[in-house]
Amino acid sequence: MLKVTDLRGRTPSTSELRRVMPRGGTDVNSVMPTVAPIVEAVKEHGAAKALEYGAQFDGITPASVRVPQDVIDNALETISDEVRTALEEAISRIRKVHAAQKPEPHTTELGPGATVTEKFIPIDRVGLYVPGGEAVYPSSVLMNVIPAQEAGATSMVVCTPPQAKFDGWPHPTILAACKLLGVDEIWAVGGAQAVALMAYGDDSENLEPVDIITGPGNIYVTAAKRMVNGVVGIDAEAGPSEIAILADDSADPVSLAFDLISQAEHDLLAASVLITDSEELANQTLKEIEERYTVTLNSDRVKAALVGEQSGVVLVDDLEQGIAVADAYAAEHLEIHTRNAREVAERIKHAGAIFVGEYSPVPLGDYAAGSNHVLPTSGTARFSAGLTTHTFLRPVNLIEYNKEALAEIGPHIIVLADDERLPAHGEAIRARFEEQ
């Protein structure tokens, strides 16, 4: 089912590895002609235009953009005790991890009377997008809201699509998750129009614009985030989800098969990649996949993802080459199923998140490991990170020198300013020490 790329007996360069690894992806530019008019229309006409697009794409218009508080309150009563308990446990674990991520201010003394203090200021107003199409993602509420709260954001809005079967309001489980987290501002808007409305707001409807937009979405949401980037900050341009598994002959092919299948369940374009130096393990895993994927609920979606160009098996000579291949691929999720898995994991340089050993599968991170599941895709883990508390913080330096400290460094500043032919910079220093 999965195509096989055999790298044994070769030493491919990093450039070649990036070309030959299974990779799908989407062309965000291809939908820009569709998305640009939506963003511009919402920028010009606000909530009314966003609701108009919602009626076109979602087939429903909510009674208001903002979800009433009683609808949010009632949603919590609709979920089962089991779901509520699971959400509460996940919240506890995610909050504990993200609280620990918040850095402390620190001061560097460069000499008597010369200090630079770095402090961290939370982004003031945060916009969080939560998808609501074919699937329901209360986990995305948790993963976006909690780090923003732990950073100290003072205001936030969750945007999620209206649902025809729920009278035009978002899915109750989404609302219930918001209620458990204390989020009371929810807009029943989805798609590119939601991103535009968060970026530009609407004074007539008392919908305040945000300063940063985070959260996953389809290609239209991604294109809209690209368009408003600069007006507001964004977390990333997320592509289809992906897993890579680095395994040797000690791995359990049944576990590997289940993990590859579970990732393929996300999306038709989801990527499932196995990297191994054991041809026997690869064959056993492929056999297990064939026997097991047909019985899962989303088997058609799984099959489409597994046979796609983005999924496959990569055969390597040894673990060293396997690590090099994994780093070149830079997976969103990387599982390590080898002997001494922790030691191998410590050697990985490029991955969104690393799952160590048989009992740390990706679904753990999707829901309740405590880590965040909003991670870089499409190889961008080589230079970007997943969502954390840091995403919602801005480091700011406080520079404080007294007269003596400035006098000590001043001559050097004057020399450098003159060398750059910016003499007024030096004069601004010199003037402080000349008698008037």
- Domains of the chain with CATH codes: 4-25+239-370 (3.40.50.1980), 29-102+119-234 (3.40.50.1980), 402-433 (no CATH)
Tell me: is residue 149 an annotated ligand-binding position. Answer: no
Beta bridge partners of 337: 247
Catalytic residues: 332-333
Instruction: Say how far apart CA 200 and CA 191 lie, in whole Å.
Output: 15
Structure tokens at 191: 């798609």
Instruction: Say how far apart CA 348 and CA 191 lie, in whole Å.
Output: 35
β-strand pairing of 186-187 with 242-247? unpaired
Residue of higher predicted confidence among 135 and 108: 108
Q: In 3-state terms, what secondary structure has residue 397? A: strand
pLDDT tens per residue across span 74-103: 999 999 999 999 999 999 999 999 999 999
Q: What is the pLDDT of residue 134?
A: 59
Tell me: is residue 401 an annotated ligand-binding position. Answer: no
Tell me: is residue 420 an annotated ligand-binding position. Answer: yes
Cβ pair 152, 125 in contact under 8 A: no
Torsion of CA 426, 430, 431, 434, to 10 degrees: -160
- Give the pTM: 0.93
Fill in the amino acid letter for 384: S
Look over the chain and give the mean of its residue pLDDT values, rounded to a whole number: 95
Tell me: is residue 193 an annotated ligand-binding position. Answer: yes
Helix 47-58 with 191-200: angle, nearest 10 deg: 170
Burial zone of 218 (CB within 10 Å; 0-12 exposed, 13-18 middle, 19+ buried): middle
Residue of higher predicted confidence among 136 and 175: 175
Fill in the amino acid letter for 244: A
Pick from 198, 213, 140, 127: nearest CA to 173: 140
pLDDT tens per residue across span 292-340: 999 888 999 999 999 999 999 999 999 999 999 999 999 999 999 999 9
pLDDT beyond 80 at 25: no
Q: Which of the four pLDDT bands, split at 50, 70 and 90, describes residue 216?
A: confident
Rounded mean pLDDT, 278-301:
94
Cβ pair 41, 49 in contact under 8 A: yes
Rounded mean pLDDT, 178-192:
96
Q: What is the pLDDT of residue 93?
A: 98
Q: What is the pLDDT of residue 373?
A: 94
